[in-house]
Structure 1
Amino acid sequence: MNDQARALREQVKRSKESPQEDPAIRQEARAIAVMSGKGGVGKSNFSLNFSLSLQKKGYNVLLFDMDIGMANIDILLGVTQRYSILHLFERNLPLEEIVQKGPEGLSYIAGGSGLKDIFHFDEQKRKHFLSQLQRLSIQYDYIVFDMGAGITNESLQLILSCNEIILISTCEPTAMTDAYSAMKFIHNHDQNIPFQLVVNRAISAKHATNTAVRLQSVSRKFLNRSLSHLGSLPDDKYVTLAVMEQTPFVLRFPNSHVSRAVQDIASNYLRGQDTNSTKKTNSFIHKLRRLFG
């Protein structure tokens, strides 16, 4: 664990050289919730490979597995978790000891079957969670939360605290319907949180575009809000092969269509951050503390 803490301290030092901003004005990480309306749309795989793509571009990224009961980031990485977020509470461990290192220096926190209890702990444990998260938030450029499929009362608080949401859908009508329902549910609680859409497993560029246009149309018509299309991922055999080998596809098959696509999505995301850099948003930690009450 001393090695783990030492590695994290070294990362803090490296983060001062982040390409994102001057170290003198460095602020807390930008929090991104990756969610979907239903399971089986490739959300966790996207979260992992998107996070790695940001990491490969020189940003410090923390991937936080918040998929209640179905946590599988460690499986996709082919590693056995030593600690999960539950140990933060059960053993009162600092988050630095729970953070694990993945490929390309990507930091990640494994999930656990009892994540739903996080939002029901007593005040002392909630304060511990918030203080630890605040410490980590200034050590990274981005914290990517891989949320569970759908929305629970427990996950809603965390989602609403994030700076933005990346919504994953496939071209299937059921996935699109569930994605819209999830977006509507969040919209009814917060009309200002930005949404960005990623269409996964598209069999063609035309199908991806049609899916995005349809979701954008219903979003404008019924929610009166915009939905930007961040990009699309093709239905690629190399995704399945990478999962079988328990290696992220962006590393195992870097020249595949899907790997190039997820890297393009990461680039599109970063360009969007540059465009919106002058917009002020409430602190992730501030919003989370307020919602925790």
Structure 2
Amino acid sequence: MNDQARALREQVKNSKRQPEEEITKKKETRAIAVMSGKGGVGKSNFSLNFSLTLQKKGYKVLLFDMDIGMANIDILLGVTQRFSILHLFERNLSLEEIVQEGPEGLSYIAGGSGLKDIFHFDEQKRNHFLSHLQRLSYQYDYIIFDMGAGITSESLQLILACNEIILISTCEPTAMTDAYSAMKFIHNHDQNIPFQLVVNRAVSPKHAINTALRLQSVTKQFLNRNLSHLGSLPDDKYVTLAVMEQSPFVLRFPNSHVSRAVREIAANYLHGRDTTAIKNTNTFIHKLRRLFG
């Protein structure tokens, strides 16, 4: 009888522990910061369409609009923002309730002035936010942070916690200079975080390749690090048409040159993930907690 009772208690104990163990065993989300050195290079449009492309490939993606004051993911989607991160505290909502669903089942959190306040919360509120974010992260393969142009002391913490950075630049000299400056600034704080380059609005493949080669050259010469080139997006009229219609171009014009280019970039990214040994894959939340502290 005692053996049966002990076995029953052990079974109940294991059944209570199982959900937590399943969560911990699940591969944690991969966090990607999409950033640029200056505004107006198409960063948010890339973030949205890249996220949708991964989602259409069967991955669970959460797009987090971190462009404080200039948030526009909801505008590009043609929807009205219902929640901001402050509702997590003011209305006692969970992050799951703040997350909104976009096309193709894409999850997103719209930006707003409340996002900046996260970095100034007291320890209790920060821990509350991070606990919610950690639980939410287990539901996704990727969290993509659409960062604001430039780098603030607040956004730096989040960027450094991400697993990798996708850097957006155009072929314009000012955009290239600002992109390199942003990369150098991040490099001075973390020499190991991977960068991958996307050249946007290229007037020709030759211009895109030359831009990538120049940025790769200065990065190797002055920072002694490699810069992977994920691919380029052409200067396509269908991007403007899609923005005017407030619809992502990969959905509105799936056969356009720019849509095919995004799919190729996503394929290159996923191929790189499959063939490259990824280190420190489960550190996003832990790094964020440490940086917030």
Give me the identity figure in percent.
Answer: 87
| Structure 2 residue 82 is matched with structure 1 residue 82 | yes
The answer (yes or no) to whether the contact 1:70–1:113 under 8 Å persists in 2 is no
Q: Distance in 1 between matches of 2:47 and 2:85?
A: 18
Q: Which residue of 1 aligns with 2:69?
A: 69
For this pair of structures, how many residues does the alignment match? Answer: 272
Q: 1:172 to 1:27 in 2, by over 3 A?
A: same
Q: Which runs of 4+ in 1 moved over 2 A?
A: 23-26, 89-92, 276-282
Superimposed CA distance per residue, residues 111-155 of structure 1 (whole angstroms, 9 cap, x where no aligned partner): 102322110101111011100100111100000000000000010
| CA deviations over 1:32-86 (Å, ceiling 9, x no partner) | 0000000000000000000000000000000000001111000000000111222
SS at match of 2:185: helix
Rg: which structure is higher? 2
Q: After TM superposition, give the deviation of residue 292 of structure 1 in Å.
A: 0.6
Number of the residue aligned with 2:240: 240
Check if 1:35 corresponds to 2:35. Answer: yes
Q: Following the alignment from structure 1 to structure 2, what is the Cα–Cα distance between the partners of residues 235 and 46?
A: 13
Partner residue in 1 for 2:250: 250
5+ residue gaps, structure 1, are 1-22
Please give the alpha-carbon distance, in whole angstroms, between the structure 1 residues aligned to 2:170 and 2:192: 24
Pairing 1:93-104 to 2, within 5 Å after superposition: 93-104=93-104
Deviation, 1:88, is: 1.8
- Paired residue secondary structure (2:34): strand
Alpha-carbon distance between aligned partners in 1 of 2:119 and 2:85, rounded to the nearest angstrom: 13
Counterpart secondary structure, 1:28: coil
Q: Distance in 2 between matches of 1:168 and 1:116?
A: 22
Within the alignment, does 1:135 sit opposite 2:145 as a pair?
no
The letter of the residue matching 1:48 is L
- 1:282: Cα distance to partner? 5.0
The two structures, once aligned, show a CA RMSD in angstroms of 1.5
Partner of 2:19: none
Report if aligned partners of 1:37, 1:149 keep a CA contact under 8 Å in 2. Answer: yes
Give the deviation of 1:281 after TM superposition.
3.7
Q: What runs of 5+ residues in structure 2 fail to find an aligned partner? A: 1-22
Match of 2:268 in 1: 268
Aligned equivalents of 2:197, 2:229: Cα separation in 1: 5
Shifted more, 114-123 versus 23-32: the winner is 23-32
Amino acid aligned to 1:100: Q
Is contact 1:66–1:147 with CA below 8 Å preserved after alignment? yes
- Where 1:97 maps in the other structure, the secondary structure is helix
